[in-house]
A and B are shown apart, each in its own frame.
Chain A
Amino acid sequence: MLTDQQIHQFHTFGFLVLKNMLKEDELKVVNEEFEKGYTKKNKSELIAGARVQLNWSNLDHHSPYTASLLEDKRFYGIAQQLWGEDVIGTNSQSNHYAGTRSPWHPDVGPNTHGCKFTFYLSPVDAESGALRVIPGSHRPEISDMIRKIRLKDNDPGPPEDPGLAVNEVPFCSCDSQPGDAVIFNYLIWHASWHGSKNRRMVSLQYYKNPKTPEEIVALQAHGAAFTKNKKEKLTVAQPYPDFWTSNPENSLLRARWIEWLREWGFMESIPA
């Protein structure tokens, strides 16, 4: 669980690096399950341009242990500390990157709240594909300013005055070892640089249950944006696997999440 200072730090800067969240034996299983998923994945379903990314759901029969982490108190307990008791576990994904960079972006638009746990399966640092973040950029006051800066990947501009490349934007590197988790607010601007062609990352995703009218509208818009992302090949439509939705152990927690996902229209496909 997080200390009060860590919670304060997360809300101030928009992210945390948590050391040794997965033990060695757990990592071994997660790596094996990743390999199974990667083998099974259709390699033609590349997404997200420069990232050269393949992603797939872990909520399936090939990765039962990784799927179980979404309901593991170590993680959803932290998500509850950050977003309330009724936080929703929405997804767990595996990601394989063969591109050397991920352009700067936040994961969602304003007023959609939640966090992603990312586990990089090999050591990464600033020059080898670690997550780069702009501390505090989950705040609209900073995020709105960043949107005004021309970023090379989004808007290259003329050759004599190109936009900023990924490595020209000031950042904090979330260096990590296997087993560490980087947890970040969906709204924070993040990127990566100089990743290997075999970079592997597993994520757990949680959403705040929307309360305010702004949050409700934003979550509805997020669904619409997801459809747009599918069209632009930023993600691939995948139905929630029966393996997970059948909820064979009758987990009350999962039952509540599934009900929420149905209510908000996410059951047809998994938000990336």
Chain B
Amino acid sequence: MIAENYSLTGKQILHFETFGFLVRRNVFSAEEVAKINGEFDRRRASILAEIDPEEKRTFTQWPTRNPENPFTASLLDDPRIYVPSEQLVGEDSIPIQSHCNSYGKSSGWHVDTFDRRLCVIKNILYLQPTTADRGALRVIPGSHRSPLSEDLRNMDLYGFHDDTSPFLNASGMRGEDIPCYIFESEPGDVITFNELTWHAAFGGYKDRRSLSYNFFTNPKADDEIESMKKIVEHTPANTQGLGTVGLEYHPNWLENADNNPRRARWINWLEKWGFTDVLNN
């Protein structure tokens, strides 16, 4: 059954703040997931034909805001995504990146940012069932907080691939041995996590799929503004490193033909901060 009230309860918000993540079940229906997967199939096929016909890449990512996958693009304007996000990061928060992700392998333990001046969250919708040994996202509860976050960093756990984690190499442990919560899920479930939270996924396989929508705090304090400036500065290199294919903000999305006021605010902000320049060029 699909929830009709998209707002998070106080209990859910406290759960997110305490553990650094929140799971919502059955947010999207099987029919909606089938539609997303259909768009994913077509878009992935056309991208691979164009840039990776031999399928050598282990990770292919493309932005959702593209008319070639209209339903997937529309999810950013869907209250099931933006209402909880605004509750967690602020009513004036901004979705800077939203991606379709096709992974070819596992992801070792990592955080998406070490910068705690700005709050950034990521909503992830997995498009296939996930289990502990087949791609389920793992998170270390509370690891967005100091000093656990720093302890994990100091113990040299970080390694996007297992063989690059000095702690795992020295201890003989596998990434799967690190204690955590395992988000076993069905398509339609959504996990939202603070990008400071340590996470990983094991049992990767070819074309493991997800959609990700991140929301950033609108910076106000000096340190937040400074942090956002650094993000703008580093974004081109990061995007290039990930090999993201295509424009983050398609002209069709920027056109905002329906005059959606929320999207207009986002576009205005993205232009003001220069993201439309750095991510579209």
Contact = CB atoms under 8 A, between A and B. Distances in A.
Interface of A: 3, 5-6, 8-9, 12-13, 15, 133-137, 139, 141-142, 145-146, 148-150, 161, 164, 170-172
B28 interface: no
A261 B5 CA distance: 57
Contacts of B180: 135, 172
B151 A161 contact: no
Contact of B142 (A3, A6, A9, A142): A142
B141 A8 contact: no
A149 B147 contact: no
Interface SS majority for chain A: mixed
A136 B143 CA distance: 8
B142 to A, nearest CB: 4
Contacts of A164: 11, 15
B1 interface: no
Contacts of B152: 12
A25 to B, nearest CB: 28
Nearest to A141: B145
9 contacts: A5-B173, A134-B142, A135-B141, A139-B148, A141-B147, A142-B142, A148-B14, A149-B15, A150-B11
B167 A148 contact: no
B18 A145 contact: yes
Contacts of A142: 18, 141-142, 145, 148
A175 to B, nearest CB: 11
Contacts of B139: 170
B147 to A, nearest CB: 7
A141 B19 CA distance: 11
Interface string B17-34: 111010000000000000
Interface in B170-185: 170-171, 173, 179-181
Interface of B: 9, 11, 14-15, 17-19, 21, 139-143, 145-148, 151-152, 155, 167, 170-171, 173, 179-181
Which of B11, B21, B180 gathers most chain A CB within 10 Å?
B11
Nearest to B170: A5
B147 A133 contact: no
A164 B12 CA distance: 10
Given A170-B21, A170-B181, 13 more contacts: A5-B167, A13-B179, A15-B179, A136-B143, A139-B148, A141-B142, A142-B141, A145-B142, A148-B18, A161-B9, A170-B19, A170-B141, A171-B141
Nearest to B10: A161
A149 B141 CA distance: 14
A161 B12 CA distance: 11
B22 to A, nearest CB: 10
Given A139-B147, A171-B181, A145 B11 contact: no
Contact of A149 (B18, B140, B151, B155): B18
